[in-house]
Amino acid sequence: MDVLEAIFTRRSIRRFENRPVPAEMVEQLLKAAMYAPSARNSQSWHFVVITDRQLLDAVPTFHPYAAMIREAPLAILVCGDEQLEPRTAYWVENCSAATQNILLAAHGLGLGAVWLGIYPNADRVEGMRRLIGNMPAHVIPMALVVIGYPAEQPAQPERYRPERVHYNHWRS
Amino acid sequence: MDVLEAIFTRRSIRRFENRPVPAEMVEQLLKAAMYAPSARNSQSWHFVVITDRQLLDAVPTFHPYAAMIREAPLAILVCGDEQLEPRTAYWVENCSAATQNILLAAHGLGLGAVWLGIYPNADRVEGMRRLIGNMPAHVIPMALVVIGYPAEQPAQPERYRPERVHYNHWRS
């Protein structure tokens, strides 16, 4: 799939077929994440691949928008590492670029995915920490990407908004 | 260009040919940005297209890693809007996903680009505000993407790090 087509046709997918994502695809998704740019190439990220049914099903107990995960075979938790980037707080931006790469790679592979926000919501950060266990304090869960074979095809809305574009100077 | 190829072959480009980026390409880049996902679909972003030579050349006066912009015909400033997402601070993640889409779209169009971090560095945020002028307080410059036709072809490093991948539970 062409990269521009992938960008323009990607949608959040919240319905999934009841079949697992092959291990080779999971590795492609993780590789895509790690090819994101990062400030000073710090690569200040970790990824937790979650396929354990009990862990997946527990996410809605602390995340109000995670009901779709009960249908999904896979989630990837994208985490920032403050020790890998001690001087500035660019880890959120690094991890977000990595997360977007996962979403686009999933779409390109014929999978569907949805980005669930974790950080900076304290309840969700704490819920993910409890779920995964033993995560060091300098590692912060930022986004949970729920992934599977799509069982829905959402329509493509128009999202281009010319009023959000400014040229050289600000005009309201 | 295939989306996975685009993800794996994109590199930060810091040398540019001396020719402008066509307006239709600039619009494709902006559209790519606006097709990023955002928390609750808030689309909490603005984009400032900078082509004014004097403005571009002034960026290195407040940004220590922006020297390459003197060669570049174009930059897009990606800004978050706190009023468009008042409840939570997900605007950094939204804008980072949009920025990553710009980088990948540029690569797919045969352009080169580099992401210069602005937020949360206070000096750079203030420098961009002064440069653009009249930006409301609730709009925050987050990233400056410097763009042009590439005049370098950096090598492709291996970036996959298996030690950053964890399965279901944390293991150090």
- For residues A116 and A129, give the distance between their C-alpha atoms in angstroms, rounded to a whole number: 15
User: B115 lies in a domain?
Assistant: yes
Domain that holds residue B129: 3-153
Q: What is the pLDDT of residues A65-79, one digit of tens each?
A: 999 999 999 999 999
Secondary structure (DSSP) of A66-84: -GGGGG-SEEEEEEEEGGG
Kindly determine whether residue A159 and residue B99, on different chains, have CB atoms separated by under 8 Å. Answer: no
Provide the phi-psi class of B55: left if phi over 0, else alpha when psi is between -120 and 50, else beta.
alpha
Q: Which residue of A has its CA nearest to B8?
A: A35
* pLDDT of res. A85: 85
Q: Which residues 86-125 in chain B show a CB within 8 A of chain A?
A: 88-90, 92-93, 96-97, 99-101, 103-105, 107-109, 115, 117, 120-121
Give the pLDDT band of residue B133 (cuts 50, 70, 90).
very high
Residue A172 has pLDDT above 80, yes or no: no
Q: What is the pLDDT of residues A2-49, one digit of tens each?
A: 999 999 999 999 999 999 999 999 999 999 999 999 999 999 999 999
Kindly determine whether residue B169 and residue A30, on different chains, have CB atoms separated by under 8 Å. Answer: no
CB nearest B97 (choices: A47, A96, A160): A96
Assess B164–A contact: CB distance below 8 Å, yes or no.
yes
Of all residues in chain B, what percent carry a pLDDT higher than 70? 99
Average pLDDT over all residues of chain A = 96
User: A125 lies in a domain?
Assistant: yes
Assess B12–A contact: CB distance below 8 Å, yes or no.
yes
| Of the candidate ranges A41-50, B82-91, B162-171, the one whose mean pLDDT is the lowest | B82-91
Number of structural domains (chain B) is 1
Identity (one letter) of the amino acid at B52? D
Distances (CA, A) of A170 to A164, A167, B98, B130, B138: 10, 7, 19, 11, 13
User: A105 lies in a domain?
Assistant: yes
Burial class (CB within 10 angstroms; exposed 0-12, middle 13-18, buried 19+) of B97: buried
Burial class (CB within 10 angstroms; exposed 0-12, middle 13-18, buried 19+) of B54: exposed
- Non-local (6+) Cβ contacts of A114 within 8 A are A12, A13, A14, A68, A145, A146
User: A4 lies in a domain?
Assistant: no
User: A141 lies in a domain?
Assistant: yes
Q: How many CB pairs under 8 A join A and B?
A: 205
B115: phi then psi, degrees, rounded to nearest 5: -90, 115
Distances (CA, A) of B91 to A25, A135, B20, B83, B119: 30, 26, 30, 10, 11
Residue A86 has pLDDT above 90, yes or no: no
CB nearest B45 (choices: A37, A107, A164): A164
Kindly determine whether residue A34 and residue B160, on different chains, have CB atoms separated by under 8 Å. Answer: yes
Distance from CA of A70 to the nearest CA of B (A): 16
User: A155 lies in a domain?
Assistant: no
- In three-state secondary structure terms, A110 is coil
Q: What is the 3-state secondary structure (H, E, C) of chain B?
A: CEHHHHHHHCCECCCECCCCCCHHHHHHHHHHHHCCCCHHHCCCEEEEEECCHHHHHHHHHCCCCCHHHHHCCEEEEEEEEHHHCCCCCCHHHHHHHHHHHHHHHHHHCCCEEEEEECCCCHHHHHHHHHHHCCCCCCEEEEEEEEEECECCCCCCCCCCCHHHEEECECCC
Look up the CATH number of the domain holding residue B18: 3.40.109.10
- Non-local (6+) Cβ contacts of A163 within 8 A are none
Assess B7–A contact: CB distance below 8 Å, yes or no.
yes
Helix or strand holding residue A45 (H, E) = strand A45-50
Q: What is the pLDDT of residues B16-40, one digit of tens each?
A: 999 999 999 999 999 999 999 999 9
Residue in B57, B81, B132, B166 to test binding to A, most A beta-carbons within 10 Å: B166
* pLDDT of res. B86: 76
User: B162 lies in a domain?
Assistant: no
User: B43 lies in a domain?
Assistant: yes
Kindly determine whether residue B170 and residue A133, on different chains, have CB atoms separated by under 8 Å. Answer: yes
Residue A88 has pLDDT above 80, yes or no: no
